[in-house]
């Protein structure tokens, strides 16, 4: 980019074509400043100064342009709204169709089957299958047993039996017994939980029948709370 100095005089105001007078300035910065001074010799000092300032600014930004064109230039690519929307929507749909979690799980299970993990995970296949089959057989037999018990219950519905009265409501050392029984109950629960956990670890499908599985001798104690009867004051 070369710089020119343009001047106009009021005498030429009537001839717009010849209004501006053009002078090519040299490429050398200092020489160009001298040339400006020469040409604007009788002009006011302020205007000369401002002209030189403008010239300085122009040369500096020209230098900058030349430097930047050598570096990498950023290319601005406009976004197309319709296309953006379309792609986002398609991405969402593809995500739903992908079912990533299922796909990953399937892939991992396949790799496990094909023995890529070697001996790290011990799920012995045959033993497991046997256990599964056993457990299936057991659960079938158990369900049969359950059905039998249900039949028994149904049968007992109509029958009449004579049973003695139960005296278990009152007890002297209530608190102590409560503590004991609660602890017993807790232990029972823990045992039950442990049994359940162990059962689930080994077989995982056996239905637990709670009360029928307790092996320890167990006493059921019921407690009634007595509220003191409100004393009635009799009119003397």
Partner 1 sequence: ERVLFPPTFSVSEIKNKQRRHFMFLRWKQQQRKVGRAAPPKAIPKTIENQRVYDETTVDPNDEEVAFDEATDEFAPYFNRQTVPKILITTSDRPRGRTVRFCEQLATVIPNSHVYYRRGLALKRIIPQCIARDFTDLIVINEDRKIPNGLVLSHLPDGPTAHFRMSSVRLRKEIKRKGKEPTEHVPEVILNNFTTRLGHSIGRMFAALFPHDPQFIGRQVATFHNQRDYIFFRFHRYIFKSEKKVGIQELGPRFTLKLRSLQKGTFDSKFGEYEWIHKRREMDTSRRKFHL
For residue 23, the Cα-to-chain-centroid distance in whole angstroms is 70
Which listed residue (121, 167, 219, 227) binds partner 1 by CB under 8 A?
A: 121
DSSP string, 68-101: HHHS--PPP-PPPHHHHHHHHHHHHHHHHHH-HH
Rounded distance between C-alpha atoms, residue 223 and residue 168, angstroms: 8
Instruction: From 47-55, 117-125, 142-150, 211-219, give the range in contact with partner 1 by CB under 8 A.
Output: 117-125
Rounded distance between C-alpha atoms, residue 202 and residue 147, angstroms: 24
CA atoms within 13 A on the CB side of 151: 6
Give the residue with the Cβ less far from partner 1, 74 or 215: 74
The answer to whether residue 117 forms part of the interface with partner 1 (CB under 8 A) is: yes
Site string for partner 1, 70-109 (x = CB under 8 A): -xx----------x---xx-xx-xxx-xx-xx-xxx-xxx
What is the chain's percent helix, strand, coil content, to nearest 5?
A: 60, 5, 35
Give the residue with the Cβ less far from partner 1, 13 or 83: 83
- The tokens for 153 are 């219950």
Give the residue with the Cβ less far from partner 1, 39 or 135: 135
Site string for partner 1, 141-170 (x = CB under 8 A): ------------------------------
Residue numbers at the binding site for partner 1 (CB under 8 A): 71-72, 83, 87-88, 90-91, 93-95, 97-98, 100-101, 103-105, 107-109, 111-112, 117-118, 120-121, 123, 125, 128
């Amino acid at each position: 980019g070369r710089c020119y100095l343009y001047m106009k005089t009021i005498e030429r105001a009537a001839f717009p074509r010849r209004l501006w007078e053009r002078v090519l300035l040299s490429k050398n910065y200092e020489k160009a400043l001298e040339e400006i001074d020469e040409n604007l010799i009788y002009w006011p000092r302020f205007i000369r100064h401002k002209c030189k300032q403008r010239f300085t600014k122009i040369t500096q930004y020209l230098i900058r342009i030349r430097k930047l064109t050598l570096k990498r230039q950023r290319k601005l690519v406009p976004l197309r709204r319709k296309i953006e929307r379309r792609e986002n929507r398609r991405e969402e749909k593809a995500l739903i169709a992908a079912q990533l979690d299922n796909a990953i799980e399937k892939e991992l299970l396949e790799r496990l089957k094909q023995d890529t993990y070697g001996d790290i995970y011990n799920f012995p296949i045959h033993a497991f299958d046997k256990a599964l089959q056993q457990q299936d057989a057991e659960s079938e037999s158990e369900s049969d047993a359950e059905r039998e018990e249900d039949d028994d219950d149904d049968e007992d519905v109509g029958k009449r039996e004579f049973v003695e009265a139960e005296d278990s409501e009152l007890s002297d050392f209530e608190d102590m017994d409560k503590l004991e029984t609660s602890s017993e109950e807790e232990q029972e629960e823990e045992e039950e939980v442990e049994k359940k956990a162990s059962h689930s670890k080994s077989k995982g499908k056996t239905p637990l029948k709670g009360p029928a599985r307790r092996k320890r001798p167990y006493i059921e104690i019921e407690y009634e709370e007595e509220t003191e009867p409100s004393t009635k004051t009799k009119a003397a």
